[in-house]
Structure 1
Amino acid sequence: MQAFTDIQPKSLSGQIYGQLRHQLMAARLQPGARLKIRELARNLGTSETPVREALLQLVRDGALEMKPGYYIRVRRLTLREYVELREIRLMLEPHAAVKALPNIDEAFIDHLETVHETLIRAELEKDYPAALLANYEFHFSVYRRSEMPQLIEILERLWIQIGPLLNFLYPFGHPSYDGPHQHLHVLAALRAQDAEALASAFRADLTEGGRSFLSYLQEIDAREGLRGA
């Protein structure tokens, strides 16, 4: 009986940790947002202990930070940190997509096309939370087909850090492309089973589609630098 007592809190903490990870990756939490243990526990209908354990794990993961007075908030990446993580993503995300290619069929591509249409519709309607969620689902739906759990764990650790920052994507850093949306190139490459084109489309989605976003982050960095002078 003692073993069950030991396992249960850890299992509950893990569930809360998983929910918070998903919210971070899907840009459901804003940079700087304070996470109150008592409030979260009340909303989740649980005690404070598993909530505290989950939050402290996310602090260790680099997604949250503990400030003086022992309050916890969503960490906002600096420009330098974001650029470093983007460089890592440019290596790993196209690789994950290519590894997923043998495990992708027409039904999956049709579903992915629907997710992209949801993204475009949400952008047009200025439903930016829905757009950010659809973008997250588009990317990770592909990556998880790689069947490489260690790689997915690494990517998730990156996205729990960058996810909150993506709240600045709309409307200030709205993705823009020289031609068709890069997600369309992803879909075409999947249908053609073209690994090189697939990797190229994912890289371009991050660099070409993220130009305005990066420029906006640079503007913020410059303004805050001036205020601190």
Structure 2
Amino acid sequence: MTDETPLSIPATGGPQRDTLKEHCSTELKLALMAGRFTPGDQVTVRALADQLKFTIMPMREAVQRMVLAGALINLPNGRVSIPKPTRAEFLELIDIRQRLEPIACERATKHVTDQDLEQIAACQRDLVQAIANSALEESILCNLKFYFSIYKAAQSPHLSDLIEMVWLRFGAMIPQPVVLIYRWSSPRGQTEYVANQMKNHEALLGALQTRDTIAANRVMNRIITMNEEFCLRTFPFDDAAKE
């Protein structure tokens, strides 16, 4: 990502100020949500600025925003670290997701437009193609864009802001499922998990197209539950370090 690259997922909350500081904060947020950093990593503000192609000053402010949001941790040595979760912390985030995201999907069935549906369907096609090409970063971004296009269609900015906050914590603590597929699962697990989640995506898209509120809620719950089960089987949680 560079400072000329726009945010790759649709903004779901209120108006965004088009400034360098805001753009820097947005790009750091996207990098964390997309699992570009490994939980437990320690980095300097300068390293983040270099990686995301920004200067030190806007990156320092962006980092402090992410610290306040719980997506980064300040360290005594001047570095920041990417949180590594315990199993209990992960389950708490899953519980919050299960309470918020199905509601957003319900609202989307009531407010989604034909244009929204075209965009969501395009995101899904792009995701399928990226997975077929084993394009890891593109897959992650397409996955994010698919969900946040739905949440934008819900036309509920406050709810969308809450979901973004949870995804920020979730993305920073644990790389998104597509990353897990490549890093910690067996080839067979990859195939089964991806195939089942792609079926769920198609079912969710179908529920939106038919404005089926009950089905949208049910499918979103299934998506999150499958994500939970997959992560519990594959992710090396940090329970020992916090006992």
TM-score between the two structures when normalised by the length of structure 1: 0.81
Q: Deviations over 1:184-216 (max 9, x none)?
A: 111111111100001111111111354222211
Query: C-alpha distance in 2, partners of 1:180/1:58?
Result: 31
Alignment of 1:25-174 (within 5 A): 25-41=33-49, 44-46=53-55, 48-164=56-172, 165-167=174-176, 168-171=179-182, 172-173=184-185, 174=190
Q: Deviations over 1:55-98 (max 9, x none)?
A: 11211110001122121122222221111011010010011111
The residue identity in structure 2 corresponding to 1:166 is P
> How many matched pairs?
215
Shift of 1:21: 1.0
Alignment of 1:174-189 (within 5 A): 174=190, 175=193, 181-189=199-207
Percent identical residues: 25
Kept in 2: contact 1:119–1:135 (CA 8 A): yes
The equivalent residue for 1:18 is 26
Shift of 1:41: 4.1
What secondary structure does 1:23 align onto? Answer: helix
Higher relative contact order (CA 8 A, sep 6+): 2
The structure having more radius of gyration, on CA atoms, is 1
The residue identity in structure 2 corresponding to 1:73 is S
1:197 to 181, 206, 215: 215
Q: 1:44–1:200: structure 2 CA closer, same or farther, 3 Å change rule?
A: same
Kept in 1: contact 2:108–2:153 (CA 8 A): yes
Gap regions ≥5 residues in structure 2: 1-18
TM-score between the two structures when normalised by the length of structure 2: 0.77
Q: Deviations over 1:110-149 (max 9, x none)?
A: 3322211222222233222222211111111101122222
Query: C-alpha distance in 2, partners of 1:149/1:179?
Result: 26
Shift of 1:176: 5.1
The equivalent residue for 2:237 is 221
The residue identity in structure 2 corresponding to 1:72 is V
Kept in 2: contact 1:24–1:159 (CA 8 A): no
Gap regions ≥5 residues in structure 1: 1-10
Query: C-alpha distance in 2, partners of 1:136/1:180?
Result: 14
